[in-house]
Amino acid sequence: DTVLTQSPGTLSLSPGERATLSCRARQTVNGNYLAWYQQKPGQAPRLLIYDASTRANGIPDRFSGSGSGTDFTLTISRLEPEDSAVYYCQRYGSSILYTFGQGTKLEIK
Amino acid sequence: QLVQSGADLKKPGASVKVSCRASGYDFTNYGISWVRQARGHGPEWMGWINTNNGDTKYAREFQGRVTMTRDTSTNTAYMELRGLTSDDTAVYYCAKDELIVGAVPFDHWGPGTLVTVSS
């Protein structure tokens, strides 16, 4: 069973603040094979973080990932209006294939 | 780049076939995964195809109802889903993967194809 639970469901913050998004796995994520995506309306998901803490190409250093085992965090510092989106975590690894969380909606007031 | 076929409207019980044409990289050096997303829901992985040898791996939820194929002469991958119901209404994405399924997250996605199932 590879269920991923994200919290909170919705997060409302102001520009300049820091957002902390959580992703909890029911079982240990081997190899920390955990990714984070950003999705804006009408667009495909965009890869932000892979291997729990490595930023994908072109991703600003305001985005950072951390965690291991079953608990992972995406932190977005110095929030900008363009960060408004839904954020998903994804587990991967050849033995369990792919699973996505249900998402956290981030609103920038 | 991944370019997908246009939106489609199907009746319940019908089948749909979505295409995904790749360019800008060696098509047969990478796999293709298919992911769908219903409105207001998270993405759901459907399956994967090794574009080099045609091997496939399907998510348990879709086994028996989905077929993934590819045409190496046109660098195009296809996903066919049969026995459509209203629950299959979603945006269907293709994503660049590896030749080993599950190995990496998806750093390149197609723009998505809206499939609507309605009578």
Question: Residue B116 pLDDT > 70, yes or no?
Answer: yes
Query: Average of pLDDT values for B4-17?
Result: 98
pLDDT at site B101: 87
Backbone angles phi, psi at B51, to 5 degrees: -70, -15
pLDDT at site A3: 87
CB contact under 8 Å between A50 and B105, yes or no, is yes
Of residues B7 and B99, which shows the higher confidence score?
Answer: B7
**Could you tell me which residues come within 8 angstroms of residue A54 by beta carbon, excluding any fewer than 6 positions away?**
A65
Q: How many CB pairs under 8 A join A and B?
A: 53
pLDDT at site A82: 96
pLDDT at site A95: 64
**Residue B58 — very low, low, confident or very high, per pLDDT cuts 50/70/90?**
very high
Backbone angles phi, psi at B26, to 5 degrees: -75, 105
pLDDT along chain A (109 residues), means of 10: 87 97 93 96 97 97 97 98 97 82 96
Which tens digit of pLDDT belongs to each residue from B64-75?
Answer: 999 999 999 999
Query: Average of pLDDT values for B2-28?
Result: 97
Which tens digit of pLDDT belongs to each residue from B97-114?
Answer: 999 888 899 999 999 999
pLDDT at site A94: 66
The residue with tokens 């998004």 is A21
Interface of A with B in 15-44 (CB under 8 A): 35, 37, 44
Closest-CA residue to A89 (of A44, A33, A42, A41): A33
CA end-to-end distance (rounded Å), chain B:
34
pLDDT at site A11: 97
Mutate to test the interface with B, among A97, A99, A104 (most CBs of B within 10 A): A97
